[in-house]
Amino acid sequence: MKESVGAIKQARDGGYLHLLTHESPRIVSTAASSQHVTPNVPHRPGSTPTPLAPIEIRDAAYRKLIELSPAWNYERELVTAQPNGLLARGLTPEDVARFGAFPMSVAERDVLAEVINLSLAERFPADVAATHRSACIGVPGFWQHQGGRIKLGKDYDFKRPALIIPYRDSCGRIQACQLRFAGRRGGYHWLSTSEDRLDVEPLGTPSGAPLHWAFIDDEKAKADGLPILMTEGALKAEVLARLRPPMRAIATAGVGVAHAGLIAATSGHEVIIAFDRDHRQKREVCRQLARLIAERAEDARVTGSNVSTSVVVWEGAKGVDDAVLAHLHLRVVGVDAWFQNLPQESTDEVLDVWQNYGFAPHAEDSTHDDQEIRRKKHDAY
């Protein structure tokens, strides 16, 4: 071929030799997937993670992944399943297009990796030339087999497919992805290479724990004037943004994750925290929430911004997305009202944290009903 990207070697006639693979699975066309993209330099394993690729490359790689392997590929397991399918969570068929499906077999994922790598090489040739590596290297979830092949995810078959959940930045670009395996026991896992797996996933890249911004594009201007809703998990934030527009929500992977990023991203803005209801029973979770409230107050003091933090409370469902879907009554309460209604064991945890920070809530903090949803301050989504 005349194309040099992905070639095994240069031929004597000036062209380039490429390795052709077997017939590809159903996820992509045979013609597109038959070009096996091999790196231009030999693999040299090491213990240092590969630096993150630029956000433009990561975004392009993940968008291509979702395009080639949409959630609809496993409709019964990921879309229409009860009670955890996307439609059961309150999303529409149009919303499903924002999510992908992670195939069960290595063979299918190998083909995806090849096609995505070729697409990135054609789109970002300067970056490939500058790094002397395959285009996908540096995108969390992709790594290079010792034989030279680009791989995606673990190098073994799974028993169930997984939902691909994008984590988007404030501009809507995909920074990283999480996987949620189908079934009741499917937990959340980052699509990335951890530092303790670099020996088996060479040239892999950790994803870190980026924050996720959720909003509906057509409603973004309206949502910019409202408080920011803070919750756990990108999927929950996406559901909330679509069930209660206009909204802008920010999600962290867990209550104790990326506090510094949350503080920086919401500095100078009104915030409503909507973590899972069970934080009242789990002392460690309650402790993390108290720390976040105190850190927000310290940031407001340092920056001189007159903004507040409120908490959403409800009875019944575990998550706020489930509560909204079930039409439960939501209340947005001030920090003092939230604190006063905690069980004793959680109160002790909160006081311990706040004493370390020198923080005390204001007694004038108030409580608001869900019906006041569109009000600027202490609003409920």
Alpha carbon distance 231, 241 (integer Å): 11
How far apart (Å, rounded) are the C-alpha atoms in residues 292 and 177? 24
Mean pLDDT for the stretch of residues 295-313: 94
pLDDT, average across residues 237-251: 93
| 1 pLDDT more than 90 | no
pLDDT reading at 201 higher than 80: yes
Torsion of CA 186, 189, 195, 196, to 10 degrees: 0
Which residues lie across from 249 on neighbouring strands?
Answer: 214, 229
- Pull the structure tokens for residue 120: 């990135």
374 or 260, which is more confident?
260
The average confidence (pLDDT) of the chain is: 85
Assess contact for 374 and 349: CB atoms under 8 A.
no
Q: What is the pLDDT of residue 250?
A: 97
- How does pLDDT run across 27-56, given as a tens digit for each residue? 443 334 334 444 444 444 556 899 999 999
Alpha-carbon distance values, 6 to 18, 124, 150 (Å): 7, 13, 11
Average pLDDT over residues 226-245: 94
Beta strands in the chain (DSSP E): 9-10, 16-17, 19-20, 35-36, 100-102, 142-144, 150-152, 162-168, 174-181, 188-190, 212-214, 228-232, 249-252, 271-273, 309-313, 331-334, 367-369
CB atoms within 10 A of CB 106: 16
More confident residue, 154 or 46: 154
Q: Are 72 and 166 in contact (CB under 8 A)?
A: no
Longest dimension (CA), the chain: 82
On the question of pLDDT at 365 being above 60, the answer is: no
Asked whether residue 25 carries a pLDDT value surpassing 50, the answer given is no
150's CB contacts (< 8 A; 6+ apart) are: 37, 39, 113, 114, 117, 134, 136, 137, 142, 143, 144
| pLDDT, greater one: 31 or 163 | 163
Weakest mean pLDDT among 1-5, 48-52, 77-81, 113-117: 1-5
d(CA 297, CA 10): 62
Average pLDDT over residues 54-83: 97
7 versus 199: the higher-pLDDT residue is 199
Q: Quickly count: other Cβ atoms within 10 Å of residue 170's Cβ.
A: 12
Confidence tier at 338 by pLDDT (50, 70, 90): very high
Per-residue buried b or exposed e for 270-284, using 16+ beta carbons within 10 Å of the residue's own CB: bbbbbbbbebbebbe
pLDDT given at position 147: 85
pLDDT of residue 33: 38
User: Which tens digits make up the pLDDT trace of 95-129?
Assistant: 999 999 999 999 999 999 999 999 999 999 999 99
The region of weakest confidence among 12-21, 32-41, 129-138, 221-230 is 32-41
Q: Hey, is 347 helix, strand or coil?
A: helix
Higher model confidence: residue 375 or residue 345? 345
Percent of the chain exceeding pLDDT 90 equals: 67
Q: What is the dihedral of CA 10, 11, 15, 17, to 10 degrees?
A: -70
370, pLDDT greater than 60: no
Gap between the Cα atoms of 86 and 94, Å rounded: 11
Indicate if the pLDDT at residue 23 is higher than 80. Answer: no
- Quickly list DSSP for 104-127: SSHHHHHHHHHHHHHHHHHH-HHH
Distance CA 43, CA 36 (A): 16
Q: What is the DSSP string of 157-220?
A: --SS-EEEEEEE-TTS-EEEEEEEESSTT--EEESS--GGGTTTSTT--------EEE--GGGH
| 146 pLDDT above the threshold of 90 | no
